Chains A and B, each alone.
Chain A
Amino acid sequence: MAVLKTETLPVRSTDDIVHVRQVTRQWAVQMGLSLVDQTKLVTAASELARNTVTYGGGGEVILEALNDINRRGVRLTFTDQGPGIPDITLALKDGYTTGGGMGLGLGGSKRLVNEFDIVSHAGEGTRVCITKWK
């Protein structure tokens, strides 16, 4: 699998969330994702970027344009050095929240993409990696 290009963006403020959405949209268009898939990926990016800002105390996202043997896609990796998630299974459940939101961010994002990977250690931060294929 080849990485066609990569870019790192800060995810520290709510303005950054908007910027992440816009750049994600551009990349999704460039990789030929359908309008529905673009919308799903951008929505997932918005949820995860907000998690990074709200719960992770800010961090960054790495965007990658991917070219597999017969498919293309976009991968986003959000990392923060926040408090981490003690119970990932619980955090992925719909309706579970510690931040006063609706608790749909993590579980919802997972449903919107093709690949979803989360690693988190208490006190060390969280890394969430999502991929949407064409």
Chain B
Amino acid sequence: MEHIPILKLGDFLLVSIQVDMHDRLALTLQDDLTEQIVKTRARGVLIDISSLEIVDSFMGRMLGNIAEMATLLDAKTVVVGMQPAVAITLVELGLSLKGVRTALNVEKGMALLQNEHAPGESHYGRPED
């Protein structure tokens, strides 16, 4: 079966969608990602869609689902590299990808994920000296 490769980069998982996604491939990615989040204890997922020429409501829903599932598994999701024409089309389609965070490119997306997990920013405050 066809799979989209998932790369591990430190605490994060990196996915770059390079092919025109058919529905089955999108669902496989959803399954693979959730499995890998648990297996690698990843704290964040970065999905690069810069090669995607369109995002229709099915793919939009898939991205939303991944973000939601990742949240339940204590990982953040950032979608990066959306083409301008895709953004315009998504808005007119009525799909706002609520709950999915975005960044312009991989670099900015990684920075976003890293900032959220910067050491010393624990909810329990700084460790006592």
Contacts and interface: CB of A to CB of B under 8 A. Distances in A.
B94 A108 contact: yes
Size category of the B interface is 20 to 34
Contacts of A38: 85
Interface of B: 20-24, 53-58, 60-61, 83-86, 88-89, 92-95
Counting chain B CB atoms within 10 Å of each CB, the highest count among A25, A104, A107 belongs to A104
Given A17-B22, A39-B54, A50-B56, 15 more contacts: A15-B22, A21-B54, A40-B89, A40-B92, A43-B56, A43-B89, A46-B54, A47-B57, A50-B58, A102-B60, A104-B57, A104-B94, A111-B92, A111-B94, A112-B93
A39 B85 CA distance: 6
Contacts of A36: 84-85, 88-89
B85 A101 contact: no
B92 A46 contact: no
Interface in A79-134: 94, 101-102, 104-105, 107-109, 111-112
Given A18-B22, A40-B89, A25 B53 contact: yes
Contacts of B57: 47, 101-102, 104-105, 108
19 contacts: A14-B23, A35-B85, A36-B85, A36-B88, A39-B54, A42-B54, A46-B58, A47-B56, A47-B57, A50-B56, A101-B61, A108-B57, A108-B92, A108-B93, A108-B95, A111-B92, A111-B94, A112-B89, A112-B93
Contacts of B95: 102, 104, 108
Contacts of A22: 20
Contact of A102 (B21, B61, B86): B61
B89 A39 contact: yes
B58 to A, nearest CB: 6
Contacts of A104: 57, 93-95
Counting chain A CB atoms within 10 Å of each CB, the highest count among B53, B60, B84, B89 belongs to B89
Contacts of B53: 25, 39, 42
Contacts of B88: 36, 39-40
A42 B57 CA distance: 12
A39 to B, nearest CB: 4
A112 B92 contact: yes
Contacts of A101: 57-58, 61
